[in-house]
Amino acid sequence: MPSRRSFLRTLGLGVAGAALHPERVLADPYRLVHLERVGIPIRVRGRVVSGGRGLGGVAVSDGFDVVRTAADGSFELRSASHREFVHVSVPRGHEVPTSATGTGAFYRRIVPDASGRMDVEFELRPLEVDDERHVALVMPDVQAQNDFEMDRYHAETIPDVIATLADLGDREAIGLSAGDIMFDDLSLYPRYEQGVARMGIPFFQVVGNHDLDFEGESDEATTRTFSSHFGPRYYSLDRGQVHYVVLDDVLWHGAGYIGYLGHDQLRWLQRDLELVETGSPVIVVTHIPVVGTRHEREGERSPSDSGSITNREILYRLLERFDAHVVVGHTHENDHRFGNGIHEHVSGTVCGAWWSGDICGDGTPNGYSVYEVDGSEVTWRYKSTGHEASHQMRLYARGADPDAPGEMVANVWDADDGWTVTWYEDGDRRGEMTPRTGRDPRSVAEHTGPDLPVRRSWVEPYPTAHLYRASVPSNHGRITVEAADRFGRTYRADLV
């Protein structure tokens, strides 16, 4: 295993003059092969201003190089014609520039003049509230395929988000749509944008494997439609003390996709993170899980290439000096994995099991994740669409799981090892419930069989680790379950 210093040197300089030989890639898939930059040189000059004055120390990038503005707000980038955008990393204390629909407008398309130069100015306005306390809503997999599903998104999800924001008060808030905004029909993007406008907060978009132009002649070309609506595929911003990073981890190879982070993106990420103080909270939002635990629950030794970031070791090393969280979607379930220096959050999805009903395959309700930040402290919870914030579990009576006929089951969908789940009978504490991997009984009932569910017959229930069990007598009294999360918040539900 190379040292971190030698690894970063390789990442920074590339492998000069190296050819892309298949046998070298197979022998060491984590080795970064540097392909020389091509295209016509472009010099991008500009300023970042706020209140009519230059704003110094702001990161500006073309997706490869990252520079900081001088004290007067000026910057210069030596870019090239194959770079699509120049974008600013919106600093703390400043509003996110938005389009007419509310999507982030922190970028400009690179269009040089006849002399190969481009002048650009970014104007940032000071926030009216302190963003030390702020909220980030992460909404994976809207994944609408037609107007019926878009109608559900507008009728169910949007009003729920508006109500959640109202409950959170006047804190600064942003939204991040964590990939698979569409289900292949990219003509529906405008209806998604209408939903963003209704929510009324700045939204950042992530590329998913169903957000692609599949006929594109290269991986970059598959995001032309996405970028025409939302700009660059990867970028960053600051809210309070948190550094947010959006990545594109979907590599389309013509016959399918894998989870992968390309060289230029990793080079950009290295330079972006060099400007972030060690120990700071960093929240990375992407689509495909870094690794997750799905494969373990299904008895596989390793994750699939399409269900994980195949060169994830590089990401681990880049994030190792931070308090790092990686938030993803893709697998339509709730899952937590701690390891390799990060906390990976796999979030339940807006569409649940592809709009087939109102739950995911693991029994998690359709919904999204809410991250609340106070200084450097980050807390989170899952918000089920159409339910109160306290709705954090579903209880099943003794015998609901035929594999454990003497047990009752609690599906506590956002639970991790820091949670405690306790059951009571007639108000008396009986003991802690035991986590055990299994399938959610409701998901089994609604998703099992060749014709179920009716709208998506290919959906199946899958094993989850957030089921808690307890043996109870057949003549038990009134049962209450209390779940305490890692932040000391307590949720209760009665078995009825």
The CATH number of the domain holding residue 459 is 2.60.40
Residue 254 lies in a domain: yes
Q: Indicate whether 152 and 300 sit together in one domain.
A: yes
What is d(CA 239, CA 241) in angstroms, rounded to the nearest whole number?
6
- pLDDT value, residue 1: 39
* pLDDT tens, residue by residue, 75-98: 999 999 999 999 999 999 999 999
Calpha distance 61→79 (Å, rounded): 9
Of 451, 454, 453, 496, nearest in space to 478 by CA: 496
User: Are 110 and 76 within 8 A, CB to CB?
Assistant: no
Domain carrying residue 110: 41-123
Write down which residue in 345, 362, 384 finishes a domain: 384
What pLDDT sits at residue 29? 56
Is 337 in the same domain as 271?
Answer: yes
The Cβ of residue 320 has, within 10 Å, a number of other Cβ atoms equal to: 13
Question: Do 43 and 117 touch, CB atoms closer than 8 A?
Answer: yes
Output the pLDDT for position 38. 59
Do residues 360 and 426 both lie within one domain?
Answer: no
One domain, residues 114 and 157:
no
| 274-294 pLDDT tens trace | 999 999 999 999 999 999 999
The SS3 assignment for 95 reads: coil
For residue 21, what pLDDT is reported? 38
Question: Token pair of 287, please?
Answer: 């689509």
Give the domain-ending residue among 362, 384, 406: 384
Would you call 73 exposed, middle or buried from its count of C-beta atoms within 10 A (0-12, 13-18, 19+)? buried
Task: Report the side by side order of strands in the sheet with 342-346.
Answer: 235-239, 242-246, 281-285, 323-328, 342-346, 335-339
% of the chain exceeding 90 in pLDDT:
90
Q: Do 181 and 228 reside in the same domain of the chain?
A: yes
Q: Are 135 and 168 in contact (CB under 8 A)?
A: yes
Question: The domain spanning residue 321 has which CATH number?
Answer: 3.60.21.10
CATH of the domain at 74: 2.60.40.10
Residue 27 lies in a domain: no
3-class secondary-structure state, position 225: helix
Q: Give yes or no: residues 151 and 197 share one domain.
A: yes
Residues 378 and 441 in one domain: no
Same domain, 253 and 180: yes
* CA 395/CA 402 separation, integer angstroms: 15
pLDDT-flagged residues of the chain (< 70): 1-38
Residue 239 CA from chain centroid, whole number: 16
Q: Determine, yes or no, domain membership for 270.
A: yes
C-alpha distance from residue 15 to each of 19, 260, 263, 267, 309 (Å):
9, 18, 11, 12, 22
Q: Are residues 139 and 109 in the same domain?
A: no
Q: Which of these three, 123, 156, 184, is where a domain ends? A: 123
Q: What is the pTM of this model?
A: 0.92
User: Distance between CA 470 and CA 489 in Å, rounded?
Assistant: 22
Same domain, 340 and 208: yes
User: Is position 23 within any domain?
Assistant: no
HSE at residue 217, side-chain half, CA atoms within 13 A, is 0
- Residue 23 is predicted with a pLDDT of 45
In a shared domain, residues 320 and 439: no
Category of 64 on φ-ψ map: left (φ > 0), alpha (ψ -120 to 50) or beta: alpha
Residue 21 lies in a domain: no
- CA atoms 381, 384, 388, 391: torsion sign: negative
| The pLDDT value given to residue 19 | 34
348 within a domain of the structure (yes/no) = yes
Answer whether residue 11 is part of any domain: no
Q: What is the phi/psi pair of residue 491, to 5°?
A: -125, 145
Query: For residue 457, what is the DSSP state?
Result: T
Angle, helices 312-319 vs 263-273, to 10°: value is 10
Residue 52 in any domain: the answer is yes
Cβ(73)–Cβ(55) under 8 Å? Answer: yes
Based on the domain organization, do 219 and 281 belong to the same domain?
Answer: yes
DSSP 34-87: PPPP-S-EEEEEEEEEETTEE-TT-EEESSS-EEE--TTSEEEEEEETT--EEE
Whole-angstrom distance, CA of residue 53 vs CA of residue 48 = 8
- Structurally, the chain folds into a number of domains equal to 3
Q: Cα-flanking dihedrals φ and ψ of residue 236, to 5°?
A: -150, 170
